């Protein structure tokens, strides 16, 4: 064990000596490794951070939740919008029927929205999202009220003019979230009192609910201002399945209930769509898996070039130390010892190149995180993977030079100048 530690330490010192004596030559040889590791860490860190952001945005739409809407959320170039535009939109009254007849549905709520200019004293904000929801909305959505409180069941039932506002609205209208509680705002000639402020959510990449720029109100209050019966005004139902129930079972049950509610005959096709938002998560994973493959392909080319550079510098190193190798063998050094020393030195050189690449990615990610809508995080798994690649690449690049050194004849090597 002590002998192995000495070999590792000596190899490390030799690698440092090589860096110190031949700075330019070593740097140029390691440049390919640096670029390769930079590409791998950069691509993996960016892709994983973006994927995490998108998956978080998708999960914010509701876990195990099916959206009952007139529109199909599939999209695509051949999207048959004319098929859906004349469908009746889901109605507020239908949520009670889903609750009564559903056995695998845990929570159901109705959602509808519009835009309006919101005023508070001399301040005014345009195009604010006015969301109307029913009682179980906060059970389906991840909604955290940072200041004040959420709406009560009594306020929902009576349609009280009270609401919860987004973080951006609270800052721009009142100066801070703390000052918003209890204030009264006006939109479309109606007054509404602020009960709470939703914590800052940030920009969503998958659409969904823009809580930062929204006011959440009870459905009955919203219906006293706007025409919620109009089929062109939007609106949909969110149905969340019970824990452990697969989404397919929830969809099957909802389909039967909605056909009963709409009184559709067996020959009539559905006049509604059941959208499973969890499928977006699978699509995102598949897309980023392809992106990762592309990143690996680019990085692989750089690593191959870098491996040849390291192999070249190790051949030069073996030639320069031929007499030293002969002397070591003459005093009893085994072939395995010589082989291990050069393999470790090659691995250390690759690790140095990897460290430079890691530092470059860290500096770049720190700068980009300040301007991008999501932070770029270099996880421990990515760093561990990068160093593992450096070690494997160093061993592969150094195997031939190390074998050459280990096979040298001691007498011939000592006489070599």
Q: Give me the pLDDT at residue 215, please.
A: 94
| Contacts with 342 (C-beta within 8 Å, 6 or more apart), sequence order | 11, 314, 317, 318, 398, 401, 402, 405, 406
Please tell me the distance from the alpha carbon of residue 320 to that of residue 239, in angstroms, as a whole number: 74
Instruction: Note the pLDDT of residue 152.
Output: 93
Answer whether 187's CB lies under 8 Å from 118's CB.
Answer: yes
Please give the pLDDT value at position 414.
Answer: 73
In angstroms, how far is CA 144 from the centroid of its own chain?
21
Longest pairwise C-alpha distance within the chain: 101
Pairwise CA distance, residues 319 & 344, whole Å:
17
Q: Would you give the distance in Å from CA 272 to the centre of its chain? A: 31
Q: Are 128 and 167 in contact (CB under 8 A)?
A: no
pTM of the model: 0.68
Which parts of the chain sit beneath pLDDT 70? Answer: 1-29, 57-62, 76, 203-208, 231, 280-288, 291, 295, 373, 415-417
Tokens encoding 27: 């740097």
Q: What is the pLDDT of residue 283?
A: 65
pLDDT at 10: 62
pLDDT (0 to 100) of residue 288 = 67
- Would you state the structure tokens that stand for residue 209, as one six-digit string? 């609910």
Q: What is the dihedral of CA 382, 386, 392, 395, to 10 degrees?
A: -160
């Amino acid at each position: 064990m002590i002998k192995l530690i000495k070999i590792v330490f000596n190899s490390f010192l030799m690698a440092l000596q090589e860096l110190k004596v031949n700075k330019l030559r070593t740097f140029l040889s390691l440049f390919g490794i640096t670029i390769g590791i930079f590409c791998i860490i950069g691509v993996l860190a960016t892709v994983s951070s973006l994927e995490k952001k998108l998956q978080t945005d998708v999960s914010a739409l509701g876990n195990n939740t099916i959206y009952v809407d007139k529109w199909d959320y599939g999209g695509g170039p051949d999207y048959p919008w004319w098929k859906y535009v004349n469908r009746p939109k889901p109605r507020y009254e239908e949520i009670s029927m889903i609750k009564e007849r559903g056995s695998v549905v845990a929570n159901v709520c109705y959602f509808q929205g519009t835009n309006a200019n919101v005023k508070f004293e001399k301040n005014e904000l345009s195009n604010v999202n006015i969301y109307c929801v029913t009682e179980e909305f906060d059970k389906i959505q991840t909604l955290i009220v940072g200041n004040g409180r959420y709406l009560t069941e009594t306020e929902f039932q009576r349609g009280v003019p009270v609401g919860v506002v987004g973080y951006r609205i609270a800052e721009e209208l009142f100066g801070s979230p703390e000052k918003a509680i209890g204030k009264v705002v006006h939109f479309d000639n109606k007054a509404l009192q602020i009960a709470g402020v939703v914590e800052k959510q940030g920009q969503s990449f998958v659409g969904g609910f823009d809580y930062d720029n929204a006011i959440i109100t009870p459905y009955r209050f919203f219906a006293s201002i706007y025409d919620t019966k109009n089929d062109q005004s939007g609106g949909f139902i969110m149905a969340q399945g019970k824990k452990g129930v697969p989404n397919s079972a929830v969809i099957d049950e909802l389909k039967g209930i909605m056909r009963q509610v709409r009184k559709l005959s067996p020959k009539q096709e559905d006049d509604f769509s059941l959208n499973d938002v969890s499928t977006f998560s699978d699509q995102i994973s598949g897309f980023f898996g392809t992106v990762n493959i592309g990143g690996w392909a680019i990085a692989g080319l750089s690593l191959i070039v870098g491996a040849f550079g390291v192999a070249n510098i190790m051949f030069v190193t073996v030639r320069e130390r031929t007499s030293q190798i002969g002397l070591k063998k003459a005093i009893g050094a085994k072939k395995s010892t010589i082989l291990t020393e050069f393999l470790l030195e090659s691995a250390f050189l690759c690790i140095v190149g990897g460290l430079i690449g890691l530092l470059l990615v860290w500096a770049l990610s720190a700068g980009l995180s300040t301007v991008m809508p999501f932070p770029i995080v270099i996880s421990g798994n990515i760093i561990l993977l990068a160093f593992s690649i450096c070690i494997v690449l160093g061993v592969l690049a150094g195997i031939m030079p190390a074998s050459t050194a280990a096979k040298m004849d001691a007498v011939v090597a000592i006489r070599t100048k």
